Amino acid sequence: MSNPLHAFLIDQFNEAPLNKTLGVTLEYNAQGEAVCRWKRKAEFDHGGQDTHGGILVTLLDMAGWFTAAAQSGAIVVTSDINVRLLSPAKQQDLVATARVIRDGSKAVIAEMTVSSPKGLVATANASFAKIGEFPKG
């Protein structure tokens, strides 16, 4: 991996207890946008035997956070997220992606999507407040 910040963020992602439970993978595309992949696990289903909406929101937030942090170079926290659940996941593996639409002095604004092989499942817009800088080196 040629981008040291991407490598650092992927290491942090892989060590997070939440991710160890969910089993999401993180990579960055050529535009420096996070791509989060999740293989469906039935233990995260709701009573209707499909992926719980909380998993969808988590994937959206992960993709947005890791894109905002990578592209701004700042430590960020999610300060606002607006989610639209559009269709059932239909027991499919999911992929969340994000893109920065504004990188300001105090916040980063991103748009995120979650898709399955059958199509778009959810979208979100979020604000990520900048709270510090990553350690150098």
Render pLDDT for 29-82 as a digit per residue (tens, 0 to 9).
999 999 999 999 999 999 999 999 999 999 999 999 999 999 999 999 999 999
Q: How far is CA 79 from CA 18, 75, 126, in A?
A: 19, 13, 8
**Triad 42, 126, 118: Cα angle to 5°:** 40
CB neighbours of 119 closer than 8 A, spacing ≥ 6? 87
Contact assessment for residue 121 and residue 89, using Cβ atoms and an 8 Å cutoff = yes
CATH of the domain at 112: 3.10.129.10
Answer yes or no: pTM beyond 0.85. yes
pLDDT at 1 (0 to 100) = 52
Matching residue, tokens 């199509």: 119
What is the domain range of residue 61?
A: 4-133
In single-letter form, the type of residue at position 136 comes to K
Instruction: Look at the chain and report how many structural domains it folds into.
Output: 1
